[in-house]
Structure 1
Amino acid sequence: MKRILFIGFAFLALSCKKQEAEPFGQPQETVSEGMAATIRTPEELGETIFTGKGNCASCHQIETKTIGPSVQEIAKIYKDKNSDIIKFLKGEGEPIVDPSQYEVMKANFAITKAMSDEELKGLEAYIYSK
């Protein structure tokens, strides 16, 4: 009986090892109720947000300026100026791409401020991937 308990505790101790968090940039597992688990990269998460709940695609296109600047223009300017897209999306940074459209963009800060850091990093990764 003692042997069985010892083996059981040993198995339990080995199976409860601490899992390390995956670093940013690595695929993430996403599970929704009733759906199979899928692995998504930050860029894929960002694309989902860009075209969905972020409402970004209503004003920004990949290559063309519409209501707002193109995604490619945003990425280029933020890279060139070594600026922080996430800080801007949190409403904490100054507009540097097209300040004349800032008032239009401010309306969407309610959406972007409610996003998690993971979602904002995914959105940033998607923008830079274009």
Structure 2
Amino acid sequence: MKKLLLIIILFCLFSCKSKEDKSETSVDETATKISGQELFEGEGNCIACHKSDQKIIGPSLQEIAKIYKDNKASIVLFLQEKSEPIIDPSQYEIMKTNFAITKSMSEEELKALEDYIFSFSK
């Protein structure tokens, strides 16, 4: 009887552990889904200077998407300060203040931001 009780307890412990691990994984996967729009409007504060269809301080998202796609350039590399500005170099000094924000973003976050901007190409 004692052996049976021990087996049942061990079974319960191991079966609960595997369920716990699976639920933690699914929560982590959900947490890693990143919205480029949320980054653009929130943490990145890009919306302060860029609008979807008109130039405010910086170029519109439509213009950025078109020029970067036409030049087969990487917005991610620009935001990491690893490539030169190709749209309006005269505005580069203003943009430099935001590189502290974009350089702290993960590669995945920057890619989500780039994908969001590219969604405005016609």
TM over 0.5: yes
Distance in 1, Cα, partners of 2:45 & 2:14:
51
Which of 63, 68, 80 is equivalent to 1:90?
Answer: 80
Distance 2:87 2:102 in 1: 17
What pairs with 1:15-94 in structure 2 (closer than 5 Å)? 15=19, 16=21, 19=25, 28-29=30-31, 42=34, 45-94=35-84
Which whole-Å CA distance do the structure 1 matches of 2:78 and 2:67 have between them?
A: 13
Deviation at 1:9, TM superposition (A): 4.5
| Identity score, percent | 50
Structure 2 unaligned spans of 5+: none
More strand by share: 1
Name the amino acid aligned to 1:124. Answer: E
Which of 2, 5, 17 is equivalent to 2:9?
5
In structure 2, the residue matched to 1:114 is 104
Task: Call closer, same or farther: CA 1:12–1:47 in 2, change over 3 Å.
Answer: same
RMSD of aligned C-alpha atoms? Answer: 2.5
Name the SS of the counterpart of 1:112 in structure 2: helix
Structure 1 stretches lacking a partner, 5+ long: 23-27, 31-40
More helix by share: 2
Distance 1:12 1:69, change over 3 A: same
Matched, 1:100 2:95: no
Q: d(CA) in 2 for partners of 1:61 and 1:128? A: 13
Structure scoring higher RCO (CA < 8 A, sep ≥ 6) equals 2
Provide, for residues 79-125 of structure 1, a one-character-per-residue CA deviation record: whole Å limited to 9, x for no partner: 12111111110111111111121111112111111222232122112
Scaled by the length of structure 1, the TM-score of the pair is: 0.71
The number of aligned residues is: 113
